[in-house]
Amino acid sequence: MPASGKIFALAGGVGAARFLDGLTRIVAPERLFIVGNVGDDAEIHGLHISPDLDTVMYTLAGISHREQGWGIQGDTFHCLDALGSLGAENWFRLGDRDLATHIYRTERLRRGVSLSDVTRELADALGVRASLVPVTDQRHRTLVQTPQGLLEFQKWFVERRACDPVTGVRFAGLRTARPAAGVLEHLRTAAGVILCPSNPFISIGPILAVRGIRDALRKTAAPVAAISPIVGGRALKGPAARMMKSMGMQVSASGVAELYRDFVNVFILDTVDRFQAEKVEQLGMRAIVTGTVMTGLHEKKALAAVVLKSMGLA
């Protein structure tokens, strides 16, 4: 096993957080180095919001909203309601306790602290034992191309309820974004790399787009495993299936595998998609068929165990 022996995970929002919740219950959380998406970060009410980092952080801290997956369980919305009565926009539902995270982050960033360091401070304060790192400390934002023009991610996703068909995805800040400290080093020395079951365009895509990441994934000696977020031609959560369709792609697990064919060695797909295993193997990957729908803790842990085993880590 390489020197650091860390398990390196690429994570988007809710799907990734659920998977990582299972993983951290079967391996020591300290063995995990999680790289989070920042493409859906936004400035709202003057605050810097990092939804995917927070979703992973709250989930690993055991305080995330149980049904929706993002936000904090039992949070209240008095501040947002008061803002609404002042005439401010309130389509982005920021809870009162959640706001403390954004106020803290914004103030620390304003003082020149990096997003990586602020994320570590927040995660430490919540007792998260795994390392959680934004893919980049620089501004790196997802823009979706729609018939209405180029839209900021949260405007499209939350305000417009992801109803505009997406014809492409772009990233603002790509030229200046560099991997955050430790990301490339951990990719080089990882014992295994996992692409969590996240949207390939708006969760994993923005991570892969940062200079040097995809190349490091191609070069790492570690096995690289990806879990399909598409099950039975549908997304487990969110707009991945609709996006694949509007971008003219085949909506299937093997369609996702194709997007990663240059660096993934093991592709994990659901039992309902077992007939696609052969197609996945034709892409040069080993296909592992198992239950990927994480309805409860048992399923999350079982999936995590299969993924570890597929990489020879269990």
> Which chain residues interact with ligand FO1 by CB under 6 A?
12-13, 40, 49, 51-52, 54-55, 70-71, 92-94, 98, 154, 157-158, 203
Q: How far is the CB of 130 from ligand FO1 (least distance, A)?
A: 18
Cα 21 to chain center, whole Å? 13
- Closer residue to ligand FO1 (CB): 165 or 291: 165
Q: Do the beta carbons of residue 102 and residue 148 sit within 8 Å?
A: no
Q: How far is the CB of 50 from ligand FO1 (least distance, A)?
A: 7
Length of the chain (residues): 314
- Report which residue type is found at 260: Y
Q: How far is the CB of 223 from ligand FO1 (least distance, A)?
A: 26
Cα 20 to chain center, whole Å? 10
What's the rounded Cα separation, in Å, for the pair 223 and 282? 18
Residue 131 structure tokens: 């390392």
Alpha helices in 32-158 (DSSP H): 51-61, 78-85, 96-110, 115-125, 153-154
What's the rounded Cα separation, in Å, for the pair 7 and 308? 9
Q: How far is the CB of 47 from ligand FO1 (least distance, A)?
A: 10
- Closer residue to ligand FO1 (CB): 91 or 275: 91
Residue with tokens 């914004």: 106
Q: How far is the CB of 43 from ligand FO1 (least distance, A)?
A: 13
- Closer residue to ligand FO1 (CB): 247 or 272: 247
Please state whether beta strands 266-270 and 234-235 pair in parallel, antiparallel, or not at all (unpaired).
Answer: unpaired
Query: 192 by DSSP, 3-state: which?
Result: strand
